[in-house]
Structure 1
Amino acid sequence: MANRSQPNPSPVPYRPEQAILELGPEFYDPVAAADFPKTILRFRNDRAAASVGLETLDDAEWIAHFGRFQPLADNLQTPLALRYHGHQFRSYNPDLGDGRGFLFAQMRDDRDRLMDLGTKGSGQTPWSRFGDGRLTLKGAVREILATEMLEALGVETSRTFSVIETGEELTRGDEPSPTRSAVMVRLSHGHIRIGTFQRLAYHQDADSMERLVGYVLRHFYREEPGEDGPVRLLDHVVSRTARLAGQYMAASFVHGVLNTDNINVSGESFDYGPWRFAQTWDPAFTAAYFDHAGLYAFGRQPEAIYWDAMQLAVSLRTLVDSEPLIAVLEEFAPRYQEAVRQAMLWRLGVTPRGETEDRTLVGQMELALRETSAPVDAFFHDAFGGTLPDEPRYGEAFAAVRAALAGYAPRKPRDHPHWDAAPCKLSIEEVEAIWAPIAEADDWSVLHDKVAQIRQLGEALR
């Protein structure tokens, strides 16, 4: 049985787009989806579907489009595997591209944004190299959980739109095999990555670079390019990625693989692999078992995202001089500081007072959480609205936090049923506990219950 979420109360029309075709064949390769032995609908996100006018599809139509990839009306007639390069753990790789996914469709959402429906696990492409182009069902379940939790915590993120089990047995080195397979569809605000620009710089293709700058400015930022288009584009990306870095920290989220091919120039988080939510405020905590140097550790994520933005600036030197690009990059740090201030106070549920007071409070919270190893999710749950309970775990180390909070007004009252329940968290142990009944007995109820709990958290925070 697929998880059926509740759609938005005010439906919006389906408004198809084919904007990606403006870029031309230099940017993508037409591909075909794999022919799967089975198509068992496991998850359909009607809340996300309602934002783009697709919630009225019945299950048979849903499977036809998102399991067999029959084109949507007036949309792309052939899936497109996008081309890009990227730095992977600071090592440049020119052999990248959509290797197990493609762009399936584009449309406008309820905020009039250009949205992409992209896949993962949909089969091999010219960029698959030695991969089988498939996705494990467990990987799809993990992405459902990551995106639902991030959305609830106020992080700009892609949304898991659909998961369909495909009936193949996969062999993977990092989980018990053979394991079940799936094809997943993401709804996201574009699939243009920093690595897309890097590929054009690598080939010294100034004409295509100029075309890409215009595409991103028009469709993601609603501006016309002009002579200063590359500088304005970098300015937008610096602001959006600084915001994302601040949101990651407030959510205590560790993406795990912040390579340049995983950074979307719309500033939206996507492409989830070995993610984790840090349970304590440990700056050295890493998500990926292969991140031996801690390059993408929890506390180093702002630095990593800034480094990625620098690579966009390097690529844009194909079109403009470096001086104005450097000036924009220097804005990353203050914009990140502002973003983390806003995100932390939003999750804490208090109204900002002023830059000095707010930064002091944020610094005190980080210090107390780090010194005591108090559970992050429990702290934000207990302190929501600005009042920290008088409990032993919030002792002397939190005295300065408690004093600072006394001057803050609540953003909204604690009158939602969520605040009467236990804190909603998502540890790796719980993820494994959610997967176990699916793997052992095809029991999806634990996942459905967790998604409902996470969405209740989102309602309480909003």
Structure 2
Amino acid sequence: MPVSPAYLPDPQFPTLGPEFAEVVAPAAFPQTISRFRNDRAAARVGLNTLTDAEWRDAFALFKPLPGNLPAPLATRYHGHQFQVYNAEIGDGRGFLYAQMREDGEPGGRLLDLGAKGSGQTPFSRFGDGRLTLKGGVRELLATEMLEALGVPTSKSFALFETGEDLERGDEPSPTRSSVLTRLSWSNIRFGTFQRHAFFNKPALVGQLVEHVVSLYYPEVGGAEMAEKAPALLRAVTARMAHLCARWMAAGFVHGVLNTDNMNINGESFDYGPYRFLPKNDPNFTAAYFDHQGLYAFGRQPSAVFWNLQQLAGCLALVCEQEPLVDALNTYGTQYRDNLAEAIVRRLGLKPLTPPDNGVLAAIAFKALAEGGDALRWEPFFFDWFGGLASAPRALRGPRAHLYDTEAFRALRTGLEAFEAHQEERLQHRYFQRSDPQELLIGQIEALWAAIAEHDDWAPLQAKLQGIGEAREAMALAS
């Protein structure tokens, strides 16, 4: 299989040994119809030059990539699911397919290609190891939208429809099947540590710490494990605070913040019953089965912290508890600072003087609350992107009547301490429109209905094109 010079394979996960993964075989699918190909992401790992046939061989048949894993690996992990420990999980319908260096540089980030819906594994339990086509489409939409909004996220790399009829309790069945490939910054989860802590294997926990530090946190100091493990926790805590703040600024509700859905690099992935906020509502939940609102929008910061505490419990097998507590105690300040910065960034601003981002963030949340049911989350940030430079646009737009309140007068006063960052962005055609791109649940269902009822993929393609335009206009790097 010919690849470009930017392809640099570096399969590191197998060096951990059989305690961390099992070799598996991909499912044989009756059909392999390409539904999405992410050449923009593929260019980052030198795979954009693959022909359609080679793309199918790689991401539907999962033939090994040159110099990469000789066979897929289903990784071992445990996890707290809705804060109840589950020792029966692992890669039950997916696997690690390949690892390579970003941009073909030896010092580039180590990125993973992993499959979802690729067949049964030893961890499937009673599952069929498959992914519904609707699930694949939903994840594709989530990753594209989150990337546009500047949230660190895995990338939907390839989506194939696979020609099987699946039975599901939460979808009209039979329903169509798919296999999705993701590009992510490591497949190692908090639950990867939890599995070895559960079996009281400190040597394996220590081995995993060394692996993670050497590949993903080379800046973490300390020659001895007693220093290295707390330093790693502190670094992971910082990245998780950053991620959670970006979720909150994006109005995103993950829905299933279990420890097996926490990546050690602070990158969001594995999107099930997610939602984007229709309005500012801290009690808004995404999962229909989250009856207690454990992972409601406003409880996401505390859920992430709880998960970090579980990771700290694993690391306590290889170091003292006190420095781990010290590392955890940085989360609150880190989260608040990151949230304030994320709100200012979403508004496309920079401070005129030493920043007091927190004040503006508080004013923005109050203004959103003042707007009530009539003011949706994304249109607020769209209207006021660029701050006072966009005030004329906001005050003549379709939501102008909502902005004539005390809260919004306070917002305009708060904006006086800021100016548009890269003001030329406001000239993009995206900001000449009256409404932004949104991804509310009704819109997702309408896109799926076109596919399910008429096999009409044009609305989805138009939506992805629109999200891409928003990404270009806002230019919010994650």
Give the whole-Å Cα distance in 1 for the aligned partners of 2:347 and 2:355: 17
Give ranges in structure 2 of 5+ residues lacking alignment.
none
- What does residue 217 of structure 1 align with? 213
CA distance in 2, matches of 1:31, 1:276: 33
Q: How does 1:428-439 map to 2 (within 5 A)?
A: 428-439=441-452
How does 1:289-438 map onto structure 2 within 5 Å?
289-353=288-352, 357-373=356-372, 374-387=375-388, 388=391, 389-390=394-395, 391-396=400-405, 397-413=407-423, 414-421=426-433, 422-438=435-451
Contact 2:351 2:417 (8 Å CA) reproduced: no
Taking structure 1 as reference, are residues 209 and 39 closer, same or farther at Cα in structure 2, changes over 3 Å only? same
Q: For residue 439 of structure 1, what is the amino acid of its counterpart? A: A
> 1:341, 1:358 within 8 Å by CA — same for their partners in 2?
yes
1:12 Cα shift?
A: 6.5
User: Secondary structure of the equivalent of 1:267?
Assistant: coil
Cα deviation digits, residues 156-212 of structure 1 (max 9, x gap)? 000000000100000101111000000000000001000111111111111111110
How much does 1:441 deviate? 1.7
Q: CA deviation at 1:39?
A: 0.6
The reply on whether 1:82 has 2:75 as its aligned counterpart is: yes
CA distance in 2, matches of 1:162, 1:386: 37
Give aligned-pair identity as a percent.
Answer: 52
Q: For the Cα contact (< 8 Å) 1:253–1:298, is it kept in 2?
A: yes
Equivalent residue for 2:36? 43
Residues 64-90 of structure 1 show CA distances to partners (whole Å, capped at 9, x for unaligned) of 010001000000001000000110001
Q: Which amino acid aligns with 2:458?
A: S
Shift in Å at residue 355 of structure 1?
7.0
CA distance in 1, matches of 2:182, 2:154: 6
Deviation at 1:371, TM superposition (A): 3.1
- 2:9 and 2:180 map into 1 onto residues whose CA distance is 20
- How many angstroms apart in 1 are the aligned matches of 2:463 and 2:186? 28
Whether the 8 Å CA contact 2:98–2:112 is kept in 1: the answer is yes
Kindly provide the amino acid, as one letter, of the partner of residue 406 in structure 1: E
How far apart are 1:356 and its partner, in Å? 6.3
Q: Write out per-residue CA displacement over residues 78-106 of structure 1, whole angstroms, 9 at most, x where no aligned residue.
A: 10000001100010111110000000000
Report the equivalent of 1:226.
223
Report the Cα distance in structure 2 between the residues aligned to 1:309 and 1:98, rounded to whole angstroms.
21
C-alpha distance in structure 2 between counterparts of 1:225 and 1:405, whole Å: 44
**Alignment pair present for 1:156 and 2:156:** no
Quote the offset at 1:406 in angstroms.
2.0
The separation in 2 between residues aligned to 1:190 and 1:212, in whole angstroms, is 13
Structure 1 residue 235 corresponds to structure 2 residue 234: yes
Q: Offset of 1:372 from its aligned partner? A: 2.2
Q: Residue 134 of structure 2 corresponds to which residue in structure 1?
A: 138
1:3 is aligned to none
Aligned counterparts of 2:112 and 2:174: Cα–Cα separation in 1: 32
Aligned with 2:159: secondary structure? strand
| Aligned amino acid, residue 383 of structure 2 | D
Q: Normalising to structure 2: TM-score of the pair?
A: 0.93
Question: Does structure 1 residue 103 correspond to structure 2 residue 96?
Answer: yes
Counterpart for residue 243 of structure 2: 244
Q: CA deviation at 1:48?
A: 0.4
**What whole-Å deviation, never above 9, does each CA across 1:230-280 have from its counterpart, x for those lacking one?**
111101110000000100001000000000000000110001000000011
Contact map agreement 1:158 1:188 (CA 8 A) in 2: yes
User: How many residues get paired?
Assistant: 452
Rounded to whole Å, the distance in 2 between the matches of 1:434 and 1:41 is: 18
The reply on whether 1:169 has 2:165 as its aligned counterpart is: yes
Q: 2 CA distance for matches of 1:98 and 1:182?
A: 17
SS for the counterpart of 2:70 is: coil
Assess if the C-alpha contact under 8 Å between 1:80 and 1:103 holds in 2: yes
Kindly provide the amino acid, as one letter, of the partner of residue 269 in structure 2.
F
Which residue identity lines up with residue 42 of structure 2 in the other structure? A
Would you say the 8 A contact 2:98–2:114 is kept in 1?
A: yes
Give the Cα–Cα distance (whole angstroms) in 1 for the partners of residues 345 and 167 of structure 2.
43
Letter in 2 for 1:370: A
Shift of 1:407: 2.4
Query: What is the distance in 2 between the residues matched to 1:358 and 1:267?
Result: 23
Provide the aligned C-alpha RMSD in A. 1.3
Q: Normalising by structure 1, what TM-score?
A: 0.96
Q: Which moved more, 1:242-251 or 1:366-375?
A: 366-375
Seen in structure 2, the aligned counterparts of structure 1 residues 225 and 187 have a Cα distance that, compared at 3 Å, is: farther
How many Å separate the matches in 1 of 2:231 and 2:417? Answer: 39
Cα offset for 1:336? 0.6
Q: Structure 1, residues 309-361: CA drift from partner, whole Å, max 9, x if none?
A: 11111110000110000001000011011111111111100003567632111
| Distance in 2 separating the partners of 1:120 and 1:313 | 28
Query: Could you say which residue in structure 1 is the equivalent of 2:47?
Result: 54
**Structure 2: distance between partners of 1:12 and 1:348:** 39
- Residues in 2 aligned to 1:25 and 1:198: alpha-carbon distance in whole angstroms: 16
The letter of the residue matching 1:438 is: I
Q: Is the 8 A contact 1:214 1:225 kept in 2?
A: no
Q: Which residues of structure 1 form unaligned runs of 5+? A: 1-10
Render the CA deviation track for 1:6-45: whole Å, top value 9, x for unaligned: xxxxx86100011001111100010000010011111010
State the alpha-carbon separation in 1 of the partners of residues 285 and 369 from structure 2: 15
Verify the 8 A CA contact 2:80 2:86 in the aligned structure 1.
yes
What is the SS of the residue equivalent to 1:164?
A: strand
